Structure 1
């Protein structure tokens, strides 16, 4: 997909990411894609610890364990049902109160629907991670998700970092909408820095679907794959604050479009369950 907003000369002036980082972005998208699959015995070829779900909010995900990388991966599914889309539409900003969180800045506000969704499975996820870290105390934690799952992975990252402060934590979101206000974005940036990866594919309209005019703001760091075909050369690291005017925020939202469904040439919900 070509983007009309920039000419070829401007695109070639962008700084590409490294092949190693690009491979990592693809690697964790495969986990996010597996979260759409009702039964996935080996997510991304790794050991499935436990799936989790909530029948009221229709949140679905799983925890996997990668013994080679020594990490626990929490993957959360994106919107797939009417319930999910109803939760997506609850745009009121509310204080961030979640299991395991003791204190956060008083002015932090997050999307009420996303918070309800995450809190509906938070206790279960915390207990699974607690049990696994009891057996594998030197393992790190990675959270990932696409679309709604990406927004929930932000909330999960903050919760799990507060609950398990000694475990290194990384986060990868793909096509995620804005999740909270400016105080939230600043808190994420300060707490995670380069450990937070927010990926946007070309003209994906979901990341900009919730407008800044409602008080929302993206956190960093955005990795924008600005042109197809996907590669490290066509993916750039945007400014760390999250709202780089030269990256995906420069494109008027197109809502849920083909660019939202495809990342790195992979259709979301592709089952990497071998």
Structure 2
């Protein structure tokens, strides 16, 4: 908490060091999602919700409402302890013929406290996990280290399921820290699976993961990526752009229940319907929006029922 408070004090002054806002975009660049588009996100939201459940009940897909909402899914690998290693699971979604990988998030107040620090370490992604990346790419060290803990194990299970079901698609999901891990996993899978395997991801309340070079390269490689932000959630605006961090493309911003827009670019600072204008700083945000509702669905440990 002291780290959070000290960071809050520093933020107004540090705001002057923020990167320049991108060039103005036309209103036509922001599109409103239809009711059908919004409802189509529900299974991914439930997958992200299920990632908070203990592996003992995700095994067998017996995790209550989240599991009951997606009955055509079979979990084949679960793990993590919710402490040293975030919960995770892998399985096959038969209706969509895709392998799904999901990661647990974390306490949002704790996450914000860490990500508003003015001295956030970044690293070059491990070249054994992320081969061939441009040399100027850097990502959040903590996120990278967490993703590395399970990367090889998850990749092996993904490959097994792709072969078993003759599937050609992998779907990554996660909320909060889990969203950051899903973002890293998306590029990791792309770099370590055959080019014929389609990579898609849907994340929720995801913090910024890497620098401008990361975002630019990610966007050039991963074209089916959605990061859903809810109303005044403050997690998506940290770490700050003044620290050199940038979001990848794909923002879907829930303006209010039943009303969401697709925002252009990586960090769109010009349209008042998108997150970065809705929540210009953490004082104007609401941490409770991080939990939802994402079109009626709340995500977090207390909602694993």
Contact map agreement 1:59 1:121 (CA 8 A) in 2: no
> Is 1:67–2:118 an aligned residue pair?
no
The verdict on how the C-alpha distance between 1:266 and 1:259 changes in structure 2, with shifts beyond 3 A counting, is: same
For the residue of structure 2 that corresponds to 1:199, the secondary structure is strand
Partner of 2:297: 266
For the 8 Å contact 2:232–2:275, the answer to whether it is kept is yes
How has the CA–CA distance of structure 1 residues 103 and 256 changed in structure 2, closer, same or farther, with 3 Å as cutoff? farther
Does the C-alpha gap of structure 1 residues 221 and 84 become closer, same or farther in structure 2, counting only changes over 3 Å? closer
Q: Which TM-score applies when normalising by structure 1?
A: 0.85
- Mapped partners of 2:111, 2:81: distance in 1: 12
Task: Tell me the CA shift for residue 86 of structure 1.
Answer: 8.8
In the TM superposition, what is the alpha-carbon distance from 1:91 to its structure 2 partner? 2.4
Q: Which residue of 1 aligns with 2:49?
A: 33
Q: Distance in 2 between matches of 1:52 and 1:86?
A: 26
Q: Which moved more, 1:125-134 or 1:79-88?
A: 79-88
Q: Distance in 1 between matches of 2:109 and 2:231?
A: 26
- Summarize the Cα distance change of 1:98–1:157 in structure 2 as closer, same or farther, 3 Å threshold: farther
Residues 226 and 236 in structure 1, CA contact (< 8 A), matched pair in contact too:
yes
Match of 2:145 among 102, 116, 120: 116
Partner of 1:146: 175
Q: What secondary structure is seen at the aligned counterpart in 2 of 1:102?
A: coil
Q: In 2 relative to 1, CA 98–264 (structure 1 residues): closer, same or farther, beyond 3 Å?
A: farther
Question: How far apart, in 2, do the equivalents of 1:208 and 1:259 lie?
Answer: 13
Report deviation, 1:27.
1.8
Task: Give TM-score, length-normalised by structure 2.
Answer: 0.77
Confirm whether residue 175 of structure 1 aligns to residue 205 of structure 2. yes
Bigger radius of gyration: 2
CA displacement at 1:25 relative to structure 2 = 2.1
Q: What runs of 5+ residues in structure 2 fail to find an aligned partner? A: 1-26, 62-66
1:84 and 1:248 map into 2 onto residues whose CA distance is 18
Mapped partners of 1:98, 1:122: distance in 2: 13
Report the alpha carbon displacement of residue 136 of structure 1 after superposing the two structures with TM: 1.9
The answer (yes or no) to whether the contact 2:108–2:290 under 8 Å persists in 1 is: no
Matched with 1:17 is 33
**CA shift for structure 1 position 18:** 3.0
Aligned to 1:8: none
Q: Which runs of 5+ in 1 are unaligned?
A: 1-10
Which deviates more, 247-256 or 124-133? Answer: 247-256
Q: How big is the alpha-carbon RMSD for the aligned residues of Structure 1 and Structure 2?
A: 2.6
SS in 2 for 1:149: helix
Higher helix share: 2
1:188 aligns with 2:218: yes
